[in-house]
Structure 1
Amino acid sequence: MKQVSNLLSRAPTMPAPLAFPLGLIPSSAHSTAMAKVLNRLFAPELADGELDFLEGQVMLIRVSDARINIRLTLESGRLKAVSNSRPEDLSIEGAVYDFLLLATRREDPDTLFFNRRLRLGGSTELGLYVKNFLDSLELEGRLGPLLKVMNGATSFIGRFGH
């Protein structure tokens, strides 16, 4: 059991040669691209109003090892990029590896948050809504071949990350 908790407490980080160019891309470009991807991925949930708790709220997703900051809000039923001038109501921070573990379902959100691999800041209530939403998602069928790519990236970073 001690070995498992040690693995959970230390996240591999993205190799620097891969992370460096990502940090050069402006945050607004990361945010816009992620909003488009998530609008498509979460289309059924958006249509059902399952993300309405984000209406007018600013969520910051900070990918620490890749130096990426993604700022999103919900407006008129769609996720949209938000400028840096608006303060965030919620922040979620972690390494690429941990976000990939979450997205590929190799690890459940409770474990990642409990072990402080993913860290929440700001509104506890909003953070709980986001965590519960992520926990309820069944995306495997929607991700198709992207799931295989994400699993490969997770294995790569787990093997070669620092």
Structure 2
Amino acid sequence: MALYVVQHGKSLPKADDPEKGLSEEGIRETERIANVARGYGVTVSVIVHSGKKRARQTAERMGAALCPDQEIQTRSGMNPLDDVAAFVRDLPLDQNIMLVGHLPFLEKLIGLLVCSDATRTVFKLQNSGIVCLDEASDIDNAVIRWALMPNVG
């Protein structure tokens, strides 16, 4: 089972949109990355987002390209400063899940799953980027299988 970790797309400034929805650039980058993931055969059972507008919009665009088996879901406990250890305890890992959320929460989540230490940054996410975490038969922690980022370099 894979866990796809996605930072929401680039958002509008609060002055332009108090809810900070996706900017045009954020929409384009999210759709581009989602289509590349579809082209590589990425399959998702469910997409879960934090409930914030920019995360919901990112999840919807990922869902349009990847056609998850279940409806897109909102889940509490995914806000920037929420407790990643508490979130992981309730995370079903028997299906391919895409999580769409925010920093620093997502980078702490990756650190916890890969290194058993939420304070260790093991991957620097980009807006609209996807990091695939997966199980490895010979170790207890998750491994980073691959990543798709809008910007290389």
TM range (shorter): 0.3 to 0.5
Structure richer in helix, relative to its length: 1
Select the structure of larger CA radius of gyration.
1
User: TM-score, normalising length from structure 2?
Assistant: 0.36
Q: Quick one: higher RCO (CA 8 Å, sep 6+), 1 or 2?
A: 2
